[in-house]
Amino acid sequence: MSWALLFGMAAIIFISRYVFLEPRLPLVLSPNIQRLLTYSAPAVLSAIAAPLVFIDGEQLHIGLQSRYFIGAVVACLLIVLTRNTLVTVLGSMGLFFFVL
DSSP string across 64-78:
TT-HHHHHHHHHHHH
The helix-helix angle for 85-94 and 67-82 (nearest 10°) equals: 150
Please say if the pLDDT value at position 21 is more than 90.
no
| pTM strictly above 0.95 | no
Question: Looking at the structure, do residues 82 and 67 belong to the same domain, yes or no?
Answer: yes
Statement to judge: residues 46 and 75 lie in one domain: yes
Q: Do 92 and 76 belong together in one domain?
A: yes
φ, ψ of residue 60 in degrees (nearest 5): -85, 125
Kindly state whether residues 49 and 96 are assigned to the same domain.
Answer: yes
Question: Both 1 and 26 in a single domain?
Answer: yes
How many structural domains does the chain have?
A: 2
Residue 69 or 80, more confident? 80
55/80 same-domain check = yes
- What letter does residue 60 receive in the DSSP assignment? E
User: Do 75 and 97 reside in the same domain of the chain?
Assistant: yes
**24 lies in which domain range?**
1-36
More confident residue, 98 or 78: 78
Q: Reply yes or no on whether the pLDDT at 95 is more than 80.
A: yes
